[in-house]
Amino acid sequence: MPSKRYKKAIALVDASKPLPLKAAVEMLNKFPKAKFNETVDLAFRLGVDPKQSDQMVRGTVPLPHGSGKVVRVLVFAKPGPAAEAAKSAGAEFVGFEDMIKKCNDGWADFDVAIATPEAMVEVRKLGKVLGPRGLMPNPKTGTVTEDTAKAVKEVKAGRVEFKVDKTGNVHVAIGKAAFTPVQIEENARAVIEAVFKARPASVRGVYVRSCALSLTMSPSVRLDTREFHA
């Protein structure tokens, strides 16, 4: 049974009418607020076939105003300069064999994993453990690198990853309800532009079939993405 707050919010939304980004953010801001700082979510339904390797949509994008989330970072690095740099940059967990063992034992109390290319020789064996949780380091997302300090700082500053799932959808957390409308709009714009730029060359027809903004406990607001097609 929908709550009174949800019913009030959905009464404000005309589901048949997509809104320009600015207007959609203003609509989101009118919704009755929950008792906690809700996450702002951006969702896409893409016209791609994720089963085809040449239609995979994946990338990273820095959010202009951060995600509003405290990001816990694990860095796989052998003792040495890369490990020390990661610690200095603020990584919560840094190690090699000890961290690999912890992950194999089921530990996953972190949000992002970064690894040096040297460490990946062993870390890639964690594919079955970290892969399903979306925690596997990957060169394409900048999480396999010698420059561990830069990677840690970017992740903590609000660099987010987007990746199409097996049903052709992409979900990205772009901020918090406490953000100003301008902050939400600019974060959303950065992600939408990045997803459009990531369009695979092999895709024919409509690429972004729909796009919507929502809060953790709110209905979604459909976006008119025509301004991004160019």
Which tens digit of pLDDT belongs to each residue from 57-94? 989 899 999 989 889 999 999 999 999 999 999 999 99
**pTM of the shown model:** 0.78
Task: Name the nearest CA neighbour of 170 among 143, 199, 142.
Answer: 199
Amino acid 158: pLDDT:
87
Q: For the chain, give the percent of residues with pLDDT over 90.
A: 75
Residues 68, 175: Cα–Cα separation, whole Å: 5
pLDDT at 2: 62
Q: For the chain, where are the alpha helices, taking DSSP H only?
A: 4-11, 21-30, 81-89, 97-104, 117-123, 127-130, 148-157, 181-197
What's the average model confidence in pLDDT over 217-228? 91
Burial class from Cβ neighbours inside 10 Å (0-12, 13-18, 19+) for residue 98 reads exposed
Structure confidence by residue, pLDDT tens digits, 112-164? 999 999 999 999 999 999 998 889 999 988 899 999 999 999 999 888 889 99
**pLDDT value at position 4?**
74
Decide: 46 and 164 in contact? Cβ < 8 Å: yes
> Tokens at residue 176, please?
């918090």
pLDDT digit string, tens, across residues 153-175: 999 988 888 999 999 999 999 99
Domains of the chain by range and CATH? 16-66+159-228 (3.30.190.20), 73-156 (3.40.50.790)
Asked whether the beta carbons of 145 and 159 are under 8 A apart, the reply is no
Per-residue pLDDT, averaged over 184-202, amounts to: 95
Question: Could you tell me which residue, 35 or 6, shows the higher pLDDT?
Answer: 35
Average pLDDT of 184-188? Answer: 96
